[in-house]
Amino acid sequence: MSFAKRFVPRRAFPRLLFAWLVMLFALFHARPAAAHKPSDAYLSLTVGVDGIAGGASLVHVRWDVALRDLADATELDADENGEVTWLEVRSHAPAIAAKLVPELHLAADGAACVPKAADGAFEPKIASHTDGAYLVWEGDYVCASAPAKLSVNYTLFFARDPQHRGVVKVVGPAATHTFVLSKDDHVRDVVLDESGASLRAFASMVKTGLAHIAEGTDHLAFLFALLFPAVLVRKEKTWEPAPAWKPVVLDVLRVVTAFTLAHSLTLTLSALGWVRLPSRLVESVIAASVVLAASNNVRPWFRDGRWTMAFALGLMHGFGFSATLEDLELSRGTFAASLLGFNVGVELGQLAVVLVFLPLAFAARKTAAYRRGVLFGGSLVILAIAVVWLVERAFVVRILPV
């Protein structure tokens, strides 16, 4: 029995290929185009006894929230002119505080911590992150005792933006813990002792890396654009089915390994702070890389050595991945474990995509439906959406304080 028949009956190919195209279009159409890096907010929680009567403990909270997200979720841009001024920020400070505080719940060893009443009005500040201006809110939560375990429940913006993330740093008396919270994973229990901190950081960032691939539409689009022609061979002006399974696997290994090495290199350099590039430039070039990869399938301009293209374009994707880590301000004790864990998570996510897609593509490679529908049609879908991303990321005016 042939490899194709073993996986998929021939009569099922048209329905299978049509389903692939529908899922592909839905995947890239249903998600926001994201003219900037995904919506993130940054939480820094410092735990420590502060001389409060009865042995109570304070958790100091610093919360950095993107002005663009606040403008979308509130009436911060009062005159709706696309810009947020300092006067608008100050005038909406009470409403902003009222929006933020109910979205964060802390508990010390199971007992709820209570937000401490401010002595005066919330005085806003502005901080700069890799993707623009953020408003800073600071306050304290009072816990009944110094916690051995701190529970963090974060729900900001999830109702209106399922892709939003809370990037959290918990500074305990013995160790610093970093992790990312999402709509489907918005509660985390943090053991504050030092033992196992690096292992927990590794496990947490593996999960973050996996989520980054699952939610990173542009990275998935780039990966699919590289995988579509993997089961075919270009001869003269036509695509023909690859003759055997082994050359296909070796080609995919070269392409994926080149992409992995490239983005691992720039991810590490950027996370260490040795090389930094503007977020707008990085996101625009990533969109351009998707355009190039997809257009190469429609009208080949890079016929041989696709792994070299994957390496060259993967360098910029590494800077895109690093945006998740830069603002974490990882501690020296857990930096290596966090960086390795994130990289492992990204690779596991990519490997899962390859393992699902490649056998099905190889089974369908001899059909005209694959060459015309998946390779040509699917690449056109990716190309069209990537052009929109490129235009948005390169030319859209962002919301910035004046």
* Domain boundaries, given as residue ranges, for the chain: 3-30+209-395, 40-195
Q: Binning pLDDT at 50, 70 and 90, where does residue 355 land?
A: very high
Residue 289: burial class (beta carbons within 10 Å; 0-12, 13-18, 19+): buried
What is the percent of the chain where pLDDT is above 90? 21
H-helix or E-strand containing 341?
A: helix 332-364
The answer, yes or no, to whether residue 384 has pLDDT greater than 60, is yes
The answer, yes or no, to whether residue 231 has pLDDT greater than 90, is yes
Which is more confidently placed, 122 or 194? 122
- Please state, rounded to an integer, the average pLDDT across all residues of the chain: 80
N- to C-terminal Cα distance for the chain?
68
Radius of gyration of the chain (CA): 24
Alpha helices in 173-331 (DSSP H): 197-215, 217-227, 245-271, 279-298, 306-326
Residue 57 to residue 143: CA distance in whole angstroms:
5
Residue with tokens 């375990």: 149
The residues near 287 (Cβ < 8 Å, ≥ 6 apart) are: 218, 386, 389, 390, 393, 394
The residues near 10 (Cβ < 8 Å, ≥ 6 apart) are: 4, 367
Q: Residue 376 carries which DSSP code?
A: I
- Model pLDDT, residue 77: 63
- Model pLDDT, residue 82: 62
| Closest alpha carbon to 225 in 121, 314, 141 | 314
Window from 26-40, 52-66, 67-81 with minimum mean pLDDT:
26-40
Strands (E) in 81-143, as ranges, are 104-108, 111-112, 114-115, 125-129, 132-143
Window from 198-207, 274-283, 332-341 with minimum mean pLDDT:
332-341
**What one-letter code names the amino acid at 136?**
V
Per residue in 113-123, pLDDT (tens digit) is 999 876 656 77
Average of per-residue pLDDT across 285-298: 89
Residue 90 to residue 30: CA distance in whole angstroms:
36
